[in-house]
Amino acid sequence: MLAKLIKSHREKMSLTQEGLALAAKTTQATISRIEAGEQVPSTTTLFKIAEALRLEPSYLLDAAIKDSKNRGDFDEW
């Protein structure tokens, strides 16, 4: 879910992966891995991506949490 959200918003803004990487102060390879679902971004990177995409960080954090729950990273309380 997070990967699709980032890619979708990046494309809506007509940004390349390299353009998003520059705006978020990371590498194109990192953006590529995040969009492919191969890497979970750090909180810092997630906030920088949110800022670059003009999104509320909580929007991306919610998606990241849902992804983690779906992977079983969290135990049920």
Pick the CATH number of 2-71 from 3.50.50.60, 1.10.10.1150, 1.10.260.40, 1.10.10.10: 1.10.260.40
Name 7's Cβ contacts closer than 8 Å, sequence gap at least 6. Answer: 35
In terms of Cβ atoms closer than 10 Å to its own Cβ (0-12, 13-18, 19+), residue 4 is exposed
Residue 74 pLDDT: 53
Domain residues of the chain, as ranges? 2-71
What predicted TM-score, i.e. pTM, was given to this entire model? Answer: 0.86
Enter the tokens of residue 16. Answer: 């390349």
pLDDT of residue 73: 62
Please state, in angstroms and as integers, the Cα–Cα distance from residue 76 to each residue in 49, 52, 72, 73, following that order. 29, 33, 9, 10
* Token reading at 41: 């971004």
Predicted confidence pLDDT, tens digits, the chain (77 residues): 999 999 999 999 999 999 999 999 999 999 999 999 999 999 999 999 999 999 999 999 999 888 887 776 655 55
Give the three-state DSSP class for 38: coil
